[in-house]
Structure formats: C-alpha cells, structure tokens
Amino acid sequence: MPSVWSGSLVFGLVSVPITVAIATEDHSVRFRRIHTVDNSLVRNRYWCDAEDREVTFGEIRRGYELPDGRVIPVTDEELRAQPLPTARAIELIAFIPAAAVDPLRIGPGYYLQPQGAIAAKPYLVLRHALRLTGRGRTVRMARP
C-alpha cells in the first residue's frame, strides 16, 4: 500500500519515525454537476473581483485575511520556515480502554508502519503493550 504521509509517532520522550497508509477504500458513488438543458458538465471558475475577470489556477496563491479586510500573501516557503515542532507528528495524548471508543465516531482507517529497522522495536513494544492492556489511544495530529 502506498504511503500517504510520513512523520513521527510521539509519546512522552519517545519519537518513532512512521509512514501512514490508507487502510480502507472509498466505494461511494460520486456525482458530477451538470447543466439541466443539455447534460453537459458544469465547471468551477476562478473569478477576480478587483479585475472583474476569470483567472487561471496558476494565478492563485494563498493569503491570510486580517479582521480589517486586508489580505496578507503567504507563500509555501514562509509556512515551511515556521517553527512547528509537531508539524510532522502524531502525538499520543491518552491511552483509553478500547471499548470506550465509539466505532461510529471513527473516520477512515489508516495503517501505521515503522520507518526502518531501528524504528520497528519501539513501535512493536507500543503495539504489544496496547494489545495486552486492551487499550486504545487518543491522538493529536498537527497538520502542516
């Protein structure tokens, strides 16, 4: 299964490099928006209010809107340069009884895999301890 994310699994002073793979497949039906007259596809258009014209996706970038309405442009490089120590981490914040987790509240499933032989040992110790104690985990994932 291809990896969709890589980072670290963090609990206490332990940090285990991991990769994340999707464990489920989406089999839902996808609908498209169509024009009722001729059944042709309806597409989204990007519109610049200031110039009153359509713009291409390549002309669009990210910006942060201030409370007074001004917009500050933000680049990907500026975001990557921010000191976010948990930006690539899944932090284990609690160990709870597995029976306390409502299956209806769980989103899509993912497989976690240790990255390399050195990461395998602490990862397997954690997995084994959770299995023996019947515990699940509550996590916080920082999104970059």
Residue 99 is assigned to a structural domain of this protein? yes
Q: What are phi and psi of 95, to 5 degrees?
A: -115, 120
What per-residue confidence (pLDDT) applies to 101? 76
Cβ-contact 33, 39 below 8 angstroms: no
Residue 17 is assigned to a structural domain of this protein? yes
For the cut 70, the answer to whether the pLDDT of residue 141 exceeds it is no
For the whole prediction, is pTM greater than 0.75? no
Q: What CATH number is attached to the domain comprising 109?
A: 2.40.290.10
Predicted confidence (pLDDT) per residue in 19-48, tens digit: 988 887 778 888 999 999 999 999 889 999
Domain ranges, residue 93? 3-24+84-141
Predicted confidence (pLDDT) per residue in 66-100, tens digit: 999 999 999 988 887 877 655 678 888 888 887 88
User: Which helix (DSSP H) or strand (DSSP E) does residue 129 occupy?
Assistant: helix 117-133
